[in-house]
Amino acid sequence: MFVHLPILIMTTLTPVAASDTVPNFDIARECRFESGLKADYDRCSDDEGTALRELQKTWTQFAVTDKRTCVVSTMIGGFASYVELLVCLQMARDVHNENDGLRDPRATDAIRPHAPGETVGIGRDPITPGQMPSQGGGR
């Protein structure tokens, strides 16, 4: 009865990363849910197939944490879409790429002088606190 228990335990302890391969989604179920007409179903199937092929080509280029997050968020509601997964991963990658450029303070620090004596990003308000600007014609 418990003869297979050690095999079962060993297979669950094998270090296999869950994000090494593109997850397997049911495209037909997703497209039936998304569309009502045959043309819409066909378009959905084509889009999902294209996204799946793109994911298979680029899967290893995405960060493991982004893959986990996007897979989980894509599967919310019981349906999963390769198009949504691909878009999620591309957006996460783009955010990481943008943030890489933001690490250079010269690229982001609006207060940092760009030339001696020149400050960009700080305006000087001519009105001192408590003072109101004149309201047209004076007194």
* Per-residue 3-state assignment (H helix, E strand, C coil) for 5-21: HHHHHHHHHCCCCCCCC
Is residue 78 domain-resident? yes
- The whole-model pTM stands at 0.58
User: What number is the average pLDDT over the span 96-117?
Assistant: 59
* Domain carrying residue 95: 23-105
Asked, for residue 123, whether it belongs to a domain, the answer is no
Q: With DSSP H G I counted as helix, E B as strand and the rest as coil, what are the percentages for the chain, rounded to 5?
A: 55, 0, 45
Domains identified in the chain, total number: 1
Sign of CA dihedral 35, 37, 43, 48: positive
- Domain membership flag for residue 98: yes
Place of tokens 């197939």: 49
Distance CA 125, CA 107 (A): 25
**What would the mean pLDDT of 11-22 be, rounded to a whole number?**
53
- Condensed to tens digits (0 to 9), the pLDDT of residues 70-88 reads 999 998 888 899 999 999 9
